[in-house]
């Protein structure tokens, strides 16, 4: 309790809430104005100040926003210098890679988390997956997902009842014996959910390929409009869970809300990802105020997520593009 966890403001609240569940204090690092991922200069600067103040984070949670990988190798280098753990929020990024290294390899992190929410690239209805190369962390997570219980005889701590006579039972342990070794949760996927998720893995590459093709079509079709389009770093292969644009406020005369409403009126299912977490009422009550993270706040005032999913047809995408030209071309 009380350990600091840092993440970005332009994310779903779960990226911060996970720390609050454990009693952690939450702080945020502003985003890069081009990639919309965690800003490495902002993180570095904040870490230097935190070291002087004796308030370094225990965990940093970078978010692969919209499916574009963060600069994980630089975050990892900072973690080695400043002594924090790295938990990648890759809810948007299954199937993405950086410098050929797939997101989820945990080469530059302690844990990577994927989401299998209904609108994610792979879905099991709900739930997700945590990956790590650390055997101790893996053992702990396996227990935590199942009420803190283990049936692994190699991990038993208590006095195993000496009632078994079958020498085929490891350590002479009764088949019914198990131990609760910590306070855990019921976080197991059902067999049906797991089967549903596994059935989609063989289509993952095709899914990502289609998403990238649709994103490239948007890039080409939206040139010339008063928009900031996604910037994908050359080292990255994005999963394009989302295709997000930002309005250029110094060019557009219509308000953000007006643009949003006119697109909705034309049947285009636009959305916002995300309202800055630090401005949510819960986090405002913890002391956060407007103006603390200007890049994330600017994002929340200008970003529009366009429809993008593998079954989106070229004709449907053209309808989205036409609507944007109608609304922004005036």
Sequence-distant (6+) residues with CB within 8 A of 185 are 144, 145, 147
Would you state the structure tokens that stand for residue 57, as one six-digit string? Answer: 């984070």
Per-residue pLDDT at 53: 97
What element of type H or E holds 220? helix 204-221
Split at pLDDT 50, 70, 90, the class of 238 is very high
Average pLDDT over residues 120-139: 97
Reported as a single tens digit per residue, the pLDDT across 64-102 is 999 999 999 999 999 999 999 999 999 999 999 999 999
Per-residue pLDDT at 168: 46
Q: Is 270 helix (H, G, I), strand (E, B) or coil?
A: coil
Q: Are strands 243-247 and 303-306 parallel, antiparallel or unpaired?
A: antiparallel
Please tell me the distance from the alpha carbon of residue 303 to that of residue 229, in angstroms, as a whole number.
Answer: 10
Say yes or no: domain 4-133+203-328 is CATH 3.30.1330.120.
no
Split at pLDDT 50, 70, 90, the class of 175 is confident
Average pLDDT over residues 61-66: 99
């Amino acid at each position: 309790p009380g350990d600091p966890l840092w993440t970005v403001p332009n994310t779903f609240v779960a990226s911060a809430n996970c720390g609050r569940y454990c009693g952690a204090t939450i702080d945020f690092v502003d985003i890069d104005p081009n990639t919309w991922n965690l800003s490495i200069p902002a993180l570095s600067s904040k870490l230097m100040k935190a070291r002087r103040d004796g308030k370094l984070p225990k965990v940093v949670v970078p978010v692969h926003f919209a499916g574009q990988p963060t600069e994980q190798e630089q975050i990892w280098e900072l973690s080695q210098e400043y002594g924090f753990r790295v938990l990648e929020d890759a809810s948007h990024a299954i199937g993405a890679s950086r410098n050929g290294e797939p997101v989820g390899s945990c080469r530059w992190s302690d844990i990577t988390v994927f989401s299998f929410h209904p609108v994610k690239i792979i879905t099991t209805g709900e739930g997700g997956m945590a990956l790590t190369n650390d055997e101790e962390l893996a053992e702990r997570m396996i227990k935590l997902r199942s009420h803190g219980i283990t049936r692994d005889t190699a991990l038993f701590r208590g006095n195993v009842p000496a009632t078994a006579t079958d020498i085929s039972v490891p350590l002479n342990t009764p088949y019914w014996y198990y131990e609760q070794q910590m306070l855990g949760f019921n976080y197991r996927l059902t067999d049906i959910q797991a089967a549903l998720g596994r059935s989609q893995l063989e289509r993952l590459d095709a899914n990502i390929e289609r998403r990238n093709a649709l994103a490239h079509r948007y890039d080409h079709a939206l040139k010339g409009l008063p928009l900031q389009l996604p910037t994908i770093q050359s080292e990255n292969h994005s999963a394009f869970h989302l295709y997000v644009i930002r309005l250029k406020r110094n060019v557009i005369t219509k308000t953000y809300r007006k643009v949003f409403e006119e697109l909705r009126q034309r049947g285009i299912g636009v959305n916002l990802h995300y309202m800055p977490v630090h401005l949510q009422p819960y986090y405002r009550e913890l002391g956060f105020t407007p103006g603390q993270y200007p890049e994330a706040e600017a994002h929340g005032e200008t970003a529009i997520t366009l429809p993008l999913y593998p079954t989106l047809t070229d004709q449907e995408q053209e309808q989205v593009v036409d609507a944007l030209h109608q609304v922004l071309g005036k």
